[in-house]
Amino acid sequence: MSEQMNRRRFLTVLGVTGGGAAAVSACGSDAQRTQKLIPYLIQPEEQVPGTATWYATTCRECTAGCGLHAKVREGRVIKLEGNPESPINAGRLCARGQAALEGVYNPDRVTDPLARNAGGELEKITWDDALARVKAQVKAARGKGIAFVTGNESGAFGDLVGEWTRAVGGAHVSYEPFAFEALREGNRLAFGTSAVPWYDLANAKYILSFGADFLDTWLSPVAYQSAFTRAHAFAAGRAVPMAKAVFVGPRMFLTGMNADEWVAAAPGTEGLLALALAGVIVRERLAPVPADAGRLRDLLARHTAEAVAAVAGVDAAAIERLAREFAGARGGVAVAGGMAAHYPNGAEVVAAVNILNYVAGTVGKLVRFGPNEGLEGSGSFKQMADLAADMQRGKLALLFVHGANPGHSLSGAFWEGWAKVGYKVSFSPYLDETASAADLVLPDLHPLEQWSDSRPRAGVWALQQPVMQPVFPNARHAGDVLLDLAGKSQTFKDYLQARWRPLHARYAHGKTFDEFWAEALQHGGVYTDAPAQAVRLGPQAGDLMRGAPAAPAFDGGAGDPVLIVFPSPVLHDGRGANKPWLQELPDPVSKLTWHAWVELHPETAAKWSVVDGDFLVLQSPFGAVRAPVWITPAVRPDVLALPTGQGHKAYGRYARDRSCNAFDLLSGAANAYGGRTFVVRVSPRKTGEHRFLATSAGDSRDLGPGEEIIRVLPLAQAAKLTPGAHPFAEREAPAYAEGALAGWAEAQRAKASLGNYAGRQPRWAMAIDLTKCTGCSACVTACYAENNLATVGEEQMLRHRQMSWMRIERYWRGGEGGAPVRGVVTPMLCQQCELAPCEPVCPVFAAYHTPDGLNGQVYNRCVGTRYCANNCPYKVRYFNWHNFAEPGGAWEAWPSPLDWQLNPDVTVREKGVMEKCTFCVQRIRGAQNQARLEDRTVLDGEIVPACAQSCPSEAIVFGDLHDKTSRVAQLSEDPRGYHVFETLNTKPGITYLARVLHGEEA
Amino acid sequence: MAQPTTAPPERATGPLTYDYVTRAIARTLGNPGRGYYVLLGSAVTLLGIGIVCLLFLLRYGMGMAGYSMPTYWAIYITCFVFWVGIAHSGTLISAILYLFRSGWRTAVYRVAEVMTVFAVMTAGLFPLIHIGRQWFFYWLLPYPNERGLWPNFKSPLIWDEFAVGTYFTVSACFLIMGLIPDIAAVRDVATGWRRKLYAITSLGWRGTNEQWRHYRPAYLYLAALATPLVLSVHSVVSWDFAMAQVPAWHETLFAPYFVAGAIYSGCAMVITLLVPMRKLFQLEKIVTVHHFENLSKLCLLTGMIVCYAYVIENYVAWYGGPTPERDAFWYRAFGRFWWAGWTMNICNAFLPWLLWFKKVRTNITALFVISIFVNVGMWMERFVIIAVHLAGEPFEPYVRAGYNATWADWGIMAGSFGWFFMWFLLFVKNFPAVSVAEVKEELPAPRRAAARHA
């Protein structure tokens, strides 16, 4: 980038800018370039230029299957929001789901079918040619081994693949790198069913998570986050007290940060702890234990608190206390998964936690079998490992890959086998590792462009419809391709509709199929209640964990530290890595972007004398990676942690050659329960190399606990607060200044008659409940999507030049002198101050105060003195250091067709101007205009900024402070409310409600 | 090329004479030697580097410089304040000391004044360079326009623009005013194109009684007009910071602190410029150790004020209570930019104590070295106030970040030195760098040798 200067560029600069005054003005002319207006000569029906059309569809970024509302402007989808009708996500959407837009508009999509030519290069061919080749290959490979690998497909497409593969004599393997095999197997061990139930966190009074990072990556993160915050929110005078949350595991995930207590058990001992808790409950008769639990007597007797305490590194007293709290809450629920399900004994851990739930009487109440997760079709790692073995033995002649990228998540054996497969066909829309090594690439449509369906949960049939014409018209739906190969004349839509006929028969209530179909499309699917299933303790439940309590053995050298490979909350198994929004979205815990890292406890770092950014080579028995160190109190001292997601060797410009691939360290063999083991011992080696880590947080040396910014209240104290009490109220102005301030306010009111400031105007304001906010960062991506925020890339991130109007600040507290380590988070955005420090210092009135209380920013007027940003104590103003919109420029944020995503209601900013959060002023004006057309006032809750709209925990409430009945006005009066930097007398429009914590300390 | 005089200066041992002064000063306008061209060439090269860097900045955006959030102002504003500060001693020496009738100023005031005008010219470039959309710089000016838009007169940046603009106008007038009799003097001995140039620029000065009678009050009037500017300009510049609420900026102390610092750095810069000039032009007899001692006394006075300001600043931060203020000064001393903070303290607050000794004050070499340190220290002071205190922004710990300047920062800074020295060098070869008329005022009137004998 900037530092690279060659002769040509040097001369270009001199030539372009050196021509005198006229040329100087040309520097800024990119944004003002003449562009052609193309009239809608033939206007499509139902399309009003300037008015958005919304389509309901389903998110396919993970297996959760959240309902989507796609906002389409002039034929282009520009924003994804949750479908409020979907029982999964109820209108909310995570960052990954929203970033699907950057998948559909990805500049590295495959536009045409590609085939490997004689020179070994992929070159474009026609569809006729491509289909002919596939047909020929299928014919030739019949009987010699055909396999079709897909991702988790719970709907019609999976059925079609299954049918077709069977017809040609092949095998259909479903492969997800994180497929929850341990959950299914653990449930089978404990209850004899491999279904994954719905955990009713919303009605829980005590939530005990054994490794399950349900706020980020576990099963259905949006649904569980929403449910968690319902139970874990604080509301004064609520009948049910705020639930306590405890997280057990060697690394504190986002869920651990949001829990009231973190129990840093040794890796692999979570199941022992669960059994010890169950033992205490049974022994002390803390709960009405079901009769058949007697079969567990031996098992529980072996796992006493004392015996487990030594292995797990947790106090026996603490185990007993947890057991009493859990049972005493009369409504506690324990969940297991995530890291705890990634050990070699993962299934047993899950089974042990099931037993804990069972003896506490939770199963059937809060652990509900019936509305099970739609994971039946998601296969297991064993199937994939077997396939890889078959490939190695040369037993496969033809391989199809769709919706999976085993080339990234499997190493060694898979690639050895790959070379021995006769012909490889990929349906990937991107040239990922697998596709770029295939012989034939048949680009599929993006899920937003295609018909399909899925069944994320029993009773939920989610429908997917194309929300726009394909971005690349020569890509083709894989379903259509398969039907063509099968020699059928129908389209995949026909096939899909045929599959929906039985549903019509069951749920149409007398409507015709077309009516039923149209309705289902409108609602995003068909939602019914699944009948509850009763489960009893399974026959094998008592046979768990034979022998004395012990942690499982991990692969690798005996004395080496244990490394946990965990799914990145942002990039997941790596599928998010080609989306710049996700690359630039700080990890909710580490706050690092654009790179992977290995987590080290400060004690370990001191022992090894490494600092943040020092590279370590981690050598496991299966491979090695080079990763920079990130020091954090959120892991156990004897544990390292490394996220997946980076280290792609292909997959487009944003993903390729970026950091290391954590999968390289893992064994390619399935473990006892058919899953993959994500924990391995590694021998670390220092390299002497160093890299600055691109983080959204400032210098870690100066970070501190953020006490001025995030206020915390112990539950006992919060419960005592009465309306009108203001524990955080600080005197905003000294007494002697009050007279002067009153006089000044009066003078301002007189001056206000000059404009329209005097009339009755709303005062837009926001209330953010920090007890609800989990720091999941969905709002951050929502802001990027809504407000055309540029992604700046790693080098600019290193200079802290990110454009993130909404940032999630994370501070660590405690950790010294035995105090528990705690991560606290808060969203920080423009506070829309009433007495804004940014406004008076702007020499050109680019920063000004609107009559409805916003701190306006006129991009066209801004000359870029940056004085406003200096004077903003919240530091929420962002400067355009480069022209991020310049086509072909070195800092281009939206290479075509990513620019199709830009919101036409929001200006794309030029280099040299300041920008900031506007409370989504375009949405405010839109709602006001709508209200004016309908001759009414704007209703409370009608205006929802993008951040509030996406928030899965509904932590953000927006509205008019002058309307005393509005929710925001009521929340602003909450005794927990406070303003950040209140003493500066800026009178912010944002009221934060203090985080409430179980426990003594604040 | 005109050659006013080629005669070597007589090594007069007795008191200075009118003749010696005229000839010695006019000789500075003689044919430039190789050294002069080397200096001028280096200055122009530096300027060229600066211009190229500026073009990159214009084309690719402010990101070419080292800014990082929250360090939104850095080297360019540091240079702006530095050059405005340099500009200060000129008016002080020429105007205030004129009003106080300090005779010693006559030998040095022209250099100081020239330095002032060129330093303001340099300083004035930086606000234009540092803004994000340089091509809209005129939006900062109050000009009538069809949109009825005026600048925001509440913004200290607008005050700044007026303060610096006024200062430039007045100090340029004052310089030209003082130059008129001298230009007329060299006009009378010049030939060729220079004679024409001087004929025009001397504005028809003949040295008549009538002209002198009007000239003196006008000069006095301008001196009186310029005097308050010495105090106002840097006060207003300091309010760019003091009016903001950034901790370590938001201080009532800033105006006097900045003015003292400006005069301090200005005097140091005068010494830095005079020492080599005096040597090169062999003006030792006109610019004597006595003059240097007086300049260094001025340095001592302002240096002590600056030292006092540093102490008070830290004391108030400790005593005053608000923790952001305390954090800011802790950061200055022990944060990641501790080296900048201590360079500033040592160069500005500790070194001037040496000037209490007469031996140091009268040692030209020592003074030159100290003046260089003070220049560095004063630049560092502005860097600390601007870049360091923004980087360690104590309200919002989450954004505290490092700051690394790039070639674009250093290139444009080097360019500003090139720009300044280019004008300075062009001036000293084309106009009298020491006042002919006023130095003579301090000498006894010449008498005919015959009369003396009689």
CATH code for the structural domain at A562-695: 2.40.40.20
Tell me: pLDDT of A411 over 80.
Answer: no
What pLDDT sits at residue A25? Answer: 44
Over range A354-380, report the average pLDDT.
89
Q: Which of A306-320, A384-398, A529-543 is least confident? A: A529-543
A712-997 fold: Alpha-Beta Plaits (3.30.70)
- Cβ atoms of A422 and A439 closer than 8 Å: no
List the single best residue of A810, A881, A986 to mutate versus B (max B Cβ within 10 A). Answer: A881
Mean pLDDT of A89-116: 95
Q: What is the pLDDT of residue A801?
A: 93
The DSSP line for B311-375 is: HHHHHHHHHH--HHHHHHHHHHHHSTTHHHHHHHIIIIIIGGGGGGSHHHHT-HHHHHHHHHHHH
* Spatial CB neighbours of B302, under 8 Å, sequence gap ≥ 6: B260, B261, B263, B264, B267
Which CATH number among 3.30.497.10, 3.40.228.10, 3.40.50.300, 3.40.50.2300 corresponds to the domain A181-370?
A: 3.40.228.10
Q: Is B55 on the interface with A (CB under 8 A)?
A: yes
Of A841, A845, A864, the CB nearest to B131: A864
**Taking Cα atoms as reference points, which of B424, B443, B442, B441 lies closest to residue B433?**
B424
Q: What is the pLDDT of residue A753?
A: 58
Say what the pLDDT of residue A757 is.
61
Residues B190, B195, B196: CA angle, nearest 5 degrees:
180
User: H or E stretch including A959?
Assistant: strand A956-960
From the CA atom positions of chain B, what is the Rg in Å? 23
Read off the amino acid at residue A219.
Answer: L
β-bridge pairing A855-857 and A244-248 = unpaired
Residue-wise burial string across A371-385, b where 16 or more C-beta atoms lie within 10 A, e elsewhere? bbbbbbbbbbbbbbb
Measured from the Cβ of residue B334, the count of other Cβ atoms closer than 10 Å reads 11
What gap in Å lies between CA A610 and CA A598, rounded to an integer? Answer: 12
d(CA A346, CA A337): 8
Please state, as a whole number, how many other Cβ atoms lie within 10 Å of the Cβ of residue A103.
20
CATH fold of A114-174+380-457+459-527: Rossmann fold (3.40.50)
CA dihedral A734, A739, A741, A745 (to 10 degrees): 150
B412 neighbors B80 (Cβ within 8 angstroms): no
Residues linked to residue A810 through DSSP beta bridges, in sequence order: A825
Partner A contacted by B389 (CB < 8 A): no
Q: Is the pLDDT of residue A374 over 80?
A: yes
Q: What is the ipTM of this complex?
A: 0.91
Residue A49 CA to residue A53 CA, distance in Å, equals: 10
Write the pLDDT tens digit of every residue in A237-291.
777 789 999 999 999 999 999 999 999 999 999 999 999 999 999 999 998 888 8
Q: Does B11 touch chain A (CB under 8 A)?
A: no
Rounded to two decimals, the pTM is: 0.91
**Residues in chain A closer than 8 A to B393 (CB atoms):** 875
**Nearest chain A residue to B242, by CA:** A871
Tell me: the pLDDT tens digits for B276-313? 888 887 778 878 888 889 889 989 999 999 999 999 99
List the domain boundaries for chain A. Answer: 114-174+380-457+459-527, 181-370, 562-695, 712-997
* Record: contact B154-A840, CB cut-off 8 A: yes
Closest CA to B183 of B432, B391, B363, B394: B432
Nearest to B239 by CA among B226, B253, B225: B253
For A509, A530, A890, the CA distances from A505, given in Å and listed in that order, are: 8, 17, 57
User: Residue for token digits 């006394």?
Assistant: B297
pLDDT in tens, A761-802: 899 999 999 999 999 999 999 999 999 999 999 999 999 999
DSSP A17-61: H-S-HHHHHHHT-GGG--------SSPPTT--TTS-EEEEEE--S
For A468, residues 6+ apart whose C-beta sits below 8 A from its C-beta are A70, A72, A75, A76, A77, A104, A448, A449
Mean pLDDT of A939-950: 94
Tokens at B135, concatenated: 């091509």
Q: Token match 């709508």: residue? A: A930
**Distance, CA of A154 to CA of A302 (rounded, Å):** 41
- Backbone phi and psi for residue B441, each to the nearest 5 degrees, phi listed first: -60, -30
**pLDDT > 70: percent of chain B:** 94
Where does residue A999 rank: exposed (0-12), middle (13-18), buried (19+ CB within 10 A)? middle
A807 within 8 A of A696, measured Cβ to Cβ? yes
Q: B139, B154, B155: best mutation site toward chain A, by most A Cβ within 10 Å?
A: B155
Report the distance separating Cα A410 and Cα A394, nearest Å.
18
A331's torsion region: left (phi>0), alpha (psi -120 to 50) or beta? left
* DSSP symbols for A430-494: B--HHHHTSSEE-PPPPGGGS-EEEEEETTEEEEE---SS-SSTT---HHHHHHHHTT--S-HHH
Establish whether the linkage from the previous residue to A107 is cis, with ω within 30° of 0: no
Q: What is the mean pLDDT of chain A?
A: 90
Q: What is the per-residue pLDDT across A162-185, written as a single tens digit (0 to 9) for each?
A: 999 999 999 999 999 998 899 999
Interface test with A, best of B49, B51, B53, B59 (most A CBs within 10 A): B59
As a whole number, mean pLDDT of residues A192-207 equals: 93
The DSSP symbol for A340 reads: G
Is B100 exposed, middle or buried (CB count within 10 Å of its CB: 0-12, 13-18, 19+)?
A: exposed
Residue A31 predicted with pLDDT over 60? no
Locate the chain A residue with the closest alpha carbon to B390. Answer: A870
Task: For residue range B185-241, list pLDDT tens digits in order.
Answer: 888 878 788 888 889 988 888 888 999 999 989 988 888 888 888 888 999 999 999
Q: How far does the CA of residue A229 sit from the closest CA of chain B (Å)? A: 25
Q: Which of A440, A450, A381 is nearest to A413 (CA)?
A: A381
Test A871 with B152 for CB contact under 8 angstroms.
no
Which strands form A67-73's sheet, in the order they lie side by side?
A53-58, A67-73, A76-82
Cβ neighbors of A376 (< 8 A, separation 6 or more) are A154, A194, A195
Higher pLDDT, A628 or A43: A628
Q: What is the DSSP string of A750-764?
A: HHHTTTTSSS----E
Residue whose pair of structure tokens reads 């998964």 in the numeric block: A337
- Please judge whether B149 and A845 are an interchain contact, meaning their C-beta atoms are less than 8 angstroms apart: yes
| Cα A264 from Cα B173, distance rounded (Å) | 76
CA distance A265 to A209: 12
Q: How big is chain A by its Cα radius of gyration, in Å?
A: 29
